[in-house]
Amino acid sequence: MIEDLKAFLDFKVAQYNQPGFITNDPISIPHLFTKKQDIEIMGFWAATLAWGQRVTIINKCKELIQLMDGAPYDFIINHEEPDLKKLLNFKHRTFNDIDTLYFISFFRYHYERNESLESAFISPTVILSDSEGSVSQHTSNVEAALNHFRSYFFSLPDYPHRTKKHVSSPSQKSTCKRLNMFLRWMVRKDNCGVDFGIWNQLKPADLIMPCDLHVDRVSRKLNLITRKQTDWQTAIELTECLREFDPVDPVKYDFALFGLGIEEKF
């Protein structure tokens, strides 16, 4: 029964959407900061590096913070060329120093012109909606935002081609798991203390589920996904299914599905 499944998932959301969840999750990295720009920068970086063991992801992010003198925004805005030398050995899996230096270049370019990273995701084609917008409108908002962001992120003339593999988009048919997770952190608003809710132009109702291996596996077991492959359309299918449970905040079920997958091996 759909009512029973909704009740079960709502219970699991309440179980995992609480501060105890933060400690062992990459979201703990932006929680180390109070300045909005630091939260955005390290939130984006933590999401980008979020593959592999969570302990390793967290440790690598902390290493990166140390290399930026514990103040990412200040380092990015005020560094001089010799300050970058200490970053030349940073590496996490296939993310290396070339990628690191380009991320710093992009952040500097953006923050010299904008107060928040949020504006990097707002495409002129995004029709900002209230929570009553149609499903297709919500989906197109984030789809346009992610496609715009990738184009903008690689708009600097010296971008390294190798770095493009670290920033996905729906136009590549990717699930965009890391970017959707980052948007969840920045956009979702509640009083539970996990997600930040510091962005206002995109709405929680617009968000698309971060569809990683755990979420994908659990969702298929619960018959929330029927699509055989796992791509952008799969993330949309899952989100539209979850909108039936909560049209205003469908991505809150990420807590339930991820928690069931990684904590309970569902």
Task: Give the tens place of pLDDT for each residue, 25-36.
Answer: 999 999 999 999
The radius of gyration of the chain's CA atoms, rounded to the nearest angstrom, is 18
Q: Is residue 130 part of a domain?
A: no
Q: CA 52, CA 94: separation in Å to the nearest integer?
A: 11
Query: What is the rounded end-to-end Cα distance, in angstroms, of the chain?
Result: 19
Q: CA 52, CA 75: separation in Å to the nearest integer?
A: 27
Backbone phi and psi for residue 100, each to the nearest 5 degrees, phi listed first? -60, -50
Q: CA 240, CA 247: separation in Å to the nearest integer?
A: 9
Q: CA 222, CA 224: separation in Å to the nearest integer?
A: 5
pLDDT of residue 133: 56
Helix axes 253-262 and 213-221, enclosed angle (nearest 10): 100
Which tens digits make up the pLDDT trace of 43-90?
Answer: 999 999 998 899 999 999 999 999 999 999 999 999 999 999 999 989
Q: Is residue 166 part of a domain?
A: yes
pLDDT of residue 134: 56
Q: How many CB atoms lie within 10 A of CB 70?
A: 13
Q: Is residue 133 part of a domain?
A: no
Q: Is residue 27 part of a domain?
A: yes
Length of the chain, in residues: 266
The residue range of the domain holding 59 is 2-120+145-262
Q: How much of the chain is in helix, strand and coil states, percent to nearest 5?
A: 60, 0, 40
Q: Any bridge partners for residue 92, and if so which? A: 95
**Closest to 185 (Cα-Cα) out of 150, 210, 168, 215:** 210
Q: Is residue 131 part of a domain?
A: no
Token readout for 83 is: 């300050």
Residue 140: pLDDT band (50, 70, 90) is: confident
Residue 110: pLDDT band (50, 70, 90) is: very high
**Average of per-residue pLDDT across 193-216:** 95
Q: Is residue 41 part of a domain?
A: yes
Chain centroid to CA 249:
16
Q: CB of 196 within 8 A of CB of 186? A: yes
For the chain, the domain total comes to: 1
Helix residue ranges, H only, 49-195? 54-67, 72-78, 97-111, 135-153, 177-187
| DSSP for residue 227 | -
Q: CA 233, CA 170: separation in Å to the nearest integer?
A: 9
pLDDT of residue 124: 67
Q: Is residue 8 part of a domain?
A: yes
Q: Is residue 136 part of a domain?
A: no
Residue 125: pLDDT band (50, 70, 90) is: low
Q: CB of 40 within 8 A of CB of 31? A: no
